[in-house]
């Protein structure tokens, strides 16, 4: 079963790093996920100032805006999709993720399965 | 009707077997909905046959065979569903192979797995309680709804939502590994304890106690005690429930009014239950540092052992609240500690501790707080302040017997002022 781990940074410092962990932690975690044979996909997102939002209105007009700038304190910083047998194992991987520390959180969402 | 069984005894057998049956079916088919459907069909069949043919020698095995047949029929009719479940089952078996069937055909007890699924931390707390009552105590959805005074529809939605999450997020059906138990056992215990407190000290409604619910909680705690014999906090939880429940008869007067510990007829306390509870306290408090249920059970035991209110061992109770506060710091525990200190060192000392809690958000709207202050102010002869505090408590109390008691107290101090 596939689960997406949505990594929300708590406080982000000037370099875009989550507080309380460094690049080494992320490299180690990424290595673990890949070596466990559960990695499906995963990306780290560029800084939030680079984000652009697109909306299409009822009249079909496209509206492009800078942002969104997070209204909540948590900012989506990246994700993993992993394939593991059940939620407990997915939660265990989420807990190992450096993004779960330092005021951040990792939201675990099952990927919807259509058909058999 | 020779050889037949009354429907009451059939129902008793069913309530005993329901949790085991459901757990075995979930294990076998990997799906709570299918398991519940098959279990209830098997029970219907039992209700039709047993009163005529008598209860079979192995009722559990009979129900399981019948239920399994119904489930297999359902899967034959719905191939897509079957294929999906088969996929799930491959994963589940890989993670946790099924135990072999018993030599005599009786079901292996897999209720512990079901307890951990129903009280999984990924579910909201109120859903854990509802599912535990429904799946392990064998209550129907309307019964669970009645127990919590919510409309049946609301409860049905809550249970459906919880089962959907179990199925679609794939909350596993397994006993957590040894290193996970310290985190997961308290969640299971909390669900049973919530059932107990709602039953024993109803948070709202016309009456003070909903005893059926407290008895269900004790039944669940007994099952947990058998399934987790090495967990001392399970002994503590069961002990706590028994030591508190032992006072049920004297806790309300003939008119349903609340009777405080101070005024209770201790001769009506259930001595056998107290004895059993005390034995469990010993288990809970030996062989390692105590947990919060063990400490609370020890406090309840000290109350139960005192021949009257005045000779209660308050120094020991105050010390135990100290320990409890270190284990689970909360304003409610601090409130109880303050009351015990007032009994040990006098009302002034207790009042100082209570006043230090002023403004705690958790105590806002919690009527025992102003009620405790009122009591101590009254004992200090500060009757006008006591009356104001009683009035505040009266406005917050949720059940009629509590309000009646507070009205009486308010009346008494108002007369003295």
Chain A hits for B84, Cβ within 8 Å: 116
Please tell me if residue A83 touches chain B, with a CB cutoff of 8 Å: no
Q: By CA distance, what is A86's nearest residue in B?
A: B170
Say how far residue B208 (Cα) sits from the centre of its chain.
16
Please tell me if residue A111 touches chain B, with a CB cutoff of 8 Å: no
The pair phi, psi for residue A65, each rounded to 5°, is -130, 155
Nearest-5° Cα angle at A15, A14 to A18: 90
**Cβ within 8 Å of B, A 41-70:** none
Q: By CA distance, what is B168's nearest residue in A?
A: A110
The pair phi, psi for residue A13, each rounded to 5°, is -85, -175
Do A38 and A83 meet the contact criterion of CB atoms below 8 Å apart?
yes
Please indicate whether, in this complex, the C-beta atoms of B170 and A86 are within 8 angstroms of each other: yes
pLDDT in tens, A63-111: 888 877 665 567 888 999 999 999 999 999 999 999 998 888 999 999 9
The domains of chain B are located at: 1-95, 111-228, 236-248+268-304, 306-353, 365-417
One pLDDT digit (tens) per residue for chain B, 417 residues: 434 556 666 677 777 788 889 999 998 888 898 999 999 899 889 889 988 888 888 888 899 999 999 999 988 888 877 777 766 665 555 555 555 555 555 556 889 999 999 999 999 999 999 999 999 988 888 888 887 778 999 999 999 999 999 999 999 998 898 888 989 999 999 999 989 988 887 655 666 566 578 998 999 999 999 999 999 999 999 999 999 999 998 988 777 778 888 899 999 999 999 999 999 999 999 999 999 999 999 999 999 999 999 899 999 999 999 999 999 999 999 999 999 999 999 999 999 999 999 989 889 889 999 999 999 999 999 999 999 999 999 999 878 888 988 999 999 888 876
From first CA to last CA, the distance across chain B in angstroms is 71
Please tell me if residue B411 touches chain A, with a CB cutoff of 8 Å: no
Please indicate whether, in this complex, the C-beta atoms of B170 and A91 are within 8 angstroms of each other: no
* For chain B, the helix, strand and coil percentages under 3-state DSSP, each to the nearest 5: 70, 0, 30
Q: Which residues pair with A53 in a beta bridge?
A: A65
Q: Which residues of B233-246 are buried (b: 16+ CB within 10 A; e: fewer)?
A: bbbbbbbbbbbbbb
Say how far residue B395 (Cα) sits from the centre of its chain.
28
Strands A105-110 and A62-66 turn out to be: unpaired
Say how far residue B259 (Cα) sits from the centre of its chain.
23
Do B260 and B405 meet the contact criterion of CB atoms below 8 Å apart?
yes
More confident: B234 or A46 = B234
The pair phi, psi for residue A11, each rounded to 5°, is -90, 135
Please tell me if residue B168 touches chain A, with a CB cutoff of 8 Å: yes
Do B185 and B234 meet the contact criterion of CB atoms below 8 Å apart?
yes
Chain B hits for A110, Cβ within 8 Å: 168-170
* Two structure tokens written together for B211: 């005893």
Please indicate whether, in this complex, the C-beta atoms of B87 and A116 are within 8 angstroms of each other: yes
Please tell me if residue B171 touches chain A, with a CB cutoff of 8 Å: yes
Chain B hits for A86, Cβ within 8 Å: 91-92, 95, 170-172
Q: What is the pLDDT of residue B1?
A: 40
DSSP state of B261: G
Nearest to B95 among A85, A110, A116 (CB): A85
Q: Do the interacting molecules here have an ipTM over 0.95?
A: no
Please indicate whether, in this complex, the C-beta atoms of B172 and A110 are within 8 angstroms of each other: no
Distance, CA of B113 to CA of B144 (rounded, Å): 21
Please tell me if residue A27 touches chain B, with a CB cutoff of 8 Å: no
Strands A39-44 and A75-83 turn out to be: antiparallel
Q: Alpha helix (H) ranges present in B228-330? A: 232-245, 271-285, 292-305, 314-327
Nearest-5° Cα angle at B43, B41 to B47: 120
Please indicate whether, in this complex, the C-beta atoms of A116 and B94 are within 8 angstroms of each other: no
Q: By CA distance, what is A3's nearest residue in B?
A: B169
The pair phi, psi for residue B24, each rounded to 5°, is -65, -35
d(CA A65, nearest CA chain B) in Å: 35
* Two structure tokens written together for B373: 């202050």
Could you give the dihedral angle defined by the CA atoms of residues B300, B282, B128 and B67, in that order, rounded to the nearest 10 degrees? Answer: -130
Chain B hits for A1, Cβ within 8 Å: 91, 170
Please indicate whether, in this complex, the C-beta atoms of A1 and B122 are within 8 angstroms of each other: no
Query: pLDDT tier at A13 (50, 70, 90 boundaries)?
Result: low
- DSSP assignment of B127-177, as one string? HHHHHIIIIIS---HHHHHHHTT--HHHHHHHHHHHHHHHHHTT---SPPP
Domains annotated on chain A, with CATH: 2-110 (3.30.70.1060)
Please indicate whether, in this complex, the C-beta atoms of A85 and B172 are within 8 angstroms of each other: yes
Counting every residue written for chain B, the total comes to 417
pTM given for the model: 0.84
Chain B hits for A116, Cβ within 8 Å: 80, 83-84, 87
Instruction: Indicate if the pLDDT at residue A10 is higher than 80.
Output: no
DSSP state of A113: -
Q: Alpha helix (H) ranges present in chain A? A: 23-35, 87-96
Distance, CA of B277 to CA of B320 (rounded, Å): 17
Distance, CA of A6 to CA of A94 (rounded, Å): 9
Q: What is the pLDDT of residue B258?
A: 80
Q: By CA distance, what is A109's nearest residue in B?
A: B169
């Amino acid at each position: 079963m596939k689960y997406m781990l949505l990594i929300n940074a708590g406080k982000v410092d000037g370099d875009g790093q989550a507080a309380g962990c460094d690049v080494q932690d992320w490299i180690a975690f990424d290595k673990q996920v890949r070596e466990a044979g559960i990695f499906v996909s995963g990306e780290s997102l560029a800084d939030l100032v680079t984000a652009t939002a697109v909306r299409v209105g009822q009249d079909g007009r496209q509206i492009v805006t800078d942002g969104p700038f997070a209204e909540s304190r948590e900012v989506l910083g990246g994700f993993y999709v992993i394939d593991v047998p059940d939620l407990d194992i997915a939660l265990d991987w989420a807990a190992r993720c450096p993004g779960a520390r330092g005021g951040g959180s990792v939201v675990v969402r099952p990927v919807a399965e259509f058909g058999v | 009707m020779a050889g037949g069984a009354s429907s009451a005894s059939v129902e008793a057998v069913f309530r005993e077997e329901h949790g085991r049956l459901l757990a075995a079916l979930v294990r076998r088919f990997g799906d709570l909905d299918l398991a519940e459907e098959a279990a209830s069909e098997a029970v219907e069949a039992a209700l039709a046959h047993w009163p005529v043919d008598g209860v079979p020698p192995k009722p559990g095995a009979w129900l399981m065979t019948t239920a399994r047949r119904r489930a297999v029929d359902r899967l034959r009719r719905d191939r897509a569903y079957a294929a999906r479940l088969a996929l799930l089952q491959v994963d589940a078996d890989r993670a946790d192979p099924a135990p072999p069937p018993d030599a005599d055909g009786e079901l292996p007890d897999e209720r512990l797995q079901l307890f951990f699924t129903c009280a999984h931390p990924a579910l909201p707390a109120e859903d854990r309680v509802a599912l535990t009552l429904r799946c392990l105590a064998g209550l129907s959805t309307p019964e669970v709804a009645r127990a919590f005074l919510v409309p049946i529809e609301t409860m049905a939605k809550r249970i459906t939502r919880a089962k959907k999450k179990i199925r679609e997020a794939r909350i596993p059906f397994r006993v957590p590994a040894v290193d996970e138990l310290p985190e997961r056992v308290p969640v299971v215990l909390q669900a049973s304890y919530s059932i107990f407190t709602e039953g024993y000290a109803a948070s709202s409604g016309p009456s003070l106690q909903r005893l059926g619910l407290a008895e269900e909680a004790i039944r669940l705690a007994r099952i947990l005690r058998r399934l987790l014999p090495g967990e001392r906090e399970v002994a503590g939880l069961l002990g706590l429930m028994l030591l508190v429940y032992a006072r049920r008869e004297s806790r309300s007067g003939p008119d349903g009014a609340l009777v405080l510990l101070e005024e209770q007829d201790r001769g009506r306390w259930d001595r056998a239950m107290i004895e059993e509870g005390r034995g469990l306290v010993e288990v809970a408090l030996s062989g390692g540092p105590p947990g919060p249920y063990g400490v609370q059970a020890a406090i309840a035991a000290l109350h139960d052992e005192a021949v009257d209110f005045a000779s209660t061992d308050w120094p020991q109770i105050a010390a135990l609240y100290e320990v409890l506060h270190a284990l689970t710091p909360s304003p409610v525990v601090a409130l109880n500690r303050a009351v015990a200190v007032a009994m040990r060192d006098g009302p002034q000392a207790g009042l100082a501790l209570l006043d230090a809690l002023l403004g705690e958000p958790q105590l806002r709207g919690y009527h025992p707080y102003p009620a405790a202050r009122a009591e101590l102010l009254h004992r200090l002869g500060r009757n006008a302040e006591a009356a104001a505090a009683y009035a505040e408590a009266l406005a917050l109390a949720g059940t009629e017997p509590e309000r009646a008691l507070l009205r009486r107290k308010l009346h008494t101090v108002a007369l003295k002022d």
